[in-house]
Amino acid sequence: MKLLYFDFPVRAEAARLALHAGGVAFEDKRITMAEWPALKAGTPRGQIPTLTLPDGTVLTESLAILRYAGASGSPRLYPSDPLAAVRVDEAVDILNDVLGALTKTFGKPVDVQKKMGEELLAADGAAGKAFAWVEAALAQRNSLYIVGDSMTIAECMLKTVADWVTVDLAGGAFASALAAYPAVARNVAMASAVPGIKKYEAARMQTRASTEAVAVPLKLLYFDFPVRAEAVRLALHAGGVAFEDKRITMAEWPALKAGTPRGQIPTLTLPDGTVLTESLAILRYAGASGSPRLYPSDPLAAVRVDEAVDILNDVLGALTKTFGKPVDVQKKMGEELLAADGAAGKAFAWVEAALAQRNSLYIVGDSMTIAECMLKTVADWVTVDLAGGAFASALAAYPAVVKIVALTSSVAAIKKYEAGRKKAVKASAKASAKVSAKADASTTSDSTASKARRTSVVHETVGRVKGRLFAACFRPSVESQ
């Protein structure tokens, strides 16, 4: 037999437990989310789990597969007696309702999962009612088992639900959720002690430990300068999220473009292979993924953050138009941007007023959000890089903005990140200087004019790299398309 499903419990775990408990040999084929689209068309109903039998018959629907698994083993976990089977089905269906409710928490931030878990476990919540029903059934029958005098697939489903609630939901926030249901806790412990299940779970723990040891972090792909990815980098660092900061050159981009979902970067690749696009969508995900969380779960607070980010993103868009322009042109464009009716002038004034009105150090709420990451990205471009630093004092008219940018820059993880970037740029400048020295040495037989021309080109290149040292990689570009 071959059971096909994703590499997590949810709709296939009860079947896995039943097959292991019943001593049924099967291939536990686990796939990633990234692999699923290519496999979907090859399934009977475009969904998983599926159970492929030795003769090629493919079963679908998780509960049908669970019943088949229970009826296939020794000991048999699905009764042949019709009335007993109905009682088992009753318990499985009640617990499957909880499983359906739990799937809605999948992928949600921990604080959201916690709130949803509290509702689920309340006396009138799906989990609360189901656990109370099982507790009463066990007490009424004065038995260790939900139906009959031996384990059935009802125990497999109960264990699947209980494990999700106590281990996975909200990062283990409900570890003691079964304390109010001692008979349920005893039943789950008994199922966990079944030799086939115990062996399976021990192997899974070992596999998970090995996987975590070589876990692939998030991968952020963008050019080796700020612009559309810098706010994301800041958010990931500030939130303590491990990620690969993959930076490419403009020369490398054409060969990579076709391999991106929409022919543009930045992209953020998740550990399961999912690729996210659009810089602001990625920024929100980055903010919601860290600890501390930098993107609010509260809808109104999130809208306020979005408002600030969108206003500042308009400035970012205007700044990209200065890319590659001569310094004098950038200076003229900068003056227009920073005028009272310019994109940057209006945005900085808006932030200044918002901070003054709230009498707060932060744009939204009482802690840092992705709005601060976007503000710092824009402010650094204006004051450090625009027109070669001609607008270094541009924020003098906005003291609250200056204060919040400085506060963001002082966040330990961001401070460490920027120090590392300066060191990397310095090393790059040093390497370029060596190239310059070699070029000088190799031109001793050239004419003075020819040597001067080539040396000038090399020195100009080194000068640009050295200029980036102070900018700490805050050099502008557009979002590649």
| Closest to 351 (Cα-Cα) out of 312, 384, 300 | 312
> According to the model, what pLDDT value does residue 155 have?
98
Residue 444, pLDDT > 80, answer: no
User: pLDDT class for 433, splitting at 50, 70, 90?
Assistant: low
Q: Read off the pLDDT of residues 154-178 as tens digits, 9 standing for 90 and up.
A: 999 999 999 999 999 998 999 999 9
Kindly give the residue spans of alpha helices, DSSP state H, lying in 13-61: 13-21, 36-40
What integer pLDDT is reported at residue 445 of this predicted model?
44
* Cβ(70)–Cβ(63) below 8 Å: no
CA distances from 346 to 58, 121, 337, 358, 377 (A): 62, 48, 9, 18, 16
Axis-axis angle for helices 230-238, 370-380 (nearest 10): 130
In percent, the amount of the chain with pLDDT more than 70 equals 87
DSSP state of 361: S
Averaged over 95-105, what is the pLDDT? 95
Q: Residue 29 is inside which H or E element, if any?
A: strand 27-31
- Of residues 352 and 441, more confidence is placed in 352
Residue 431 pLDDT > 80: no
User: Is 358 a residue whose pLDDT tops 50?
Assistant: yes
Residue 456 pLDDT grade (very low, low, confident, very high; cuts 50, 70, 90): very low
- Give kind and range of the element (H or E) at residue 389: none
Which pLDDT belongs to residue 470? 30
Query: What integer pLDDT is reported at residue 33 of this predicted model?
Result: 82
List 478's β-bridge partners, or say none.
none
* 468 pLDDT more than 80: no
Greater model confidence, 106 or 411: 411
pLDDT digits (tens, 9 = 90+) for 295-335: 999 999 999 999 999 999 999 999 999 988 999 999 999 99
Q: How far apart are CA 418 and CA 424, in angstroms?
A: 10
Distance CA 221, CA 406 (A): 27
* Nearest in space to 243 (alpha carbons), one of 209, 271, 217, 270: 217
Instruction: Give the 3-state secondary structure of residue 31.
Output: strand
Mean pLDDT of 333-358: 96
* C-beta of residue 67 within 8 angstroms of C-beta of residue 153: yes
The percent helix, strand, coil of the chain (3-state, each to 5) is: 60, 5, 30
pLDDT at 241 over 80: yes
